[in-house]
Amino acid sequence: RLARNAGVRHLVLHHVSRRYRNQDILDEARAIFPDTSLAYDFDHYQVTRDKPVRVTNLRYDRK
């Protein structure tokens, strides 16, 4: 709710306890704030003012 009320365009969740299933966390968050993603190890988020958030994984997306 805080992200929605603050006018955030994309919410990235991180440091989620392993006792919770990732999909359950995403479903709950997206019910309130649809543009939510869950960060994983080695994810790199590029945030710019007028463009969608771009995510790559530095471990798997090497060129």
Encode the chain (63 residues) as per-residue pLDDT tens digits. 888 888 888 889 988 898 999 999 999 999 998 989 898 888 888 888 888 788 887 777 655
pLDDT of residue 26: 93
What pLDDT does 61 receive?
Answer: 66
Supply the pLDDT for residue 21: 95
Question: What is the C-alpha to C-alpha distance for residues 42 and 57, in angstroms, rounded to an integer?
Answer: 5
> Integer distance in angstroms from the first to the last C-alpha of the chain?
37
Domain residue spans in the chain? Answer: 2-57
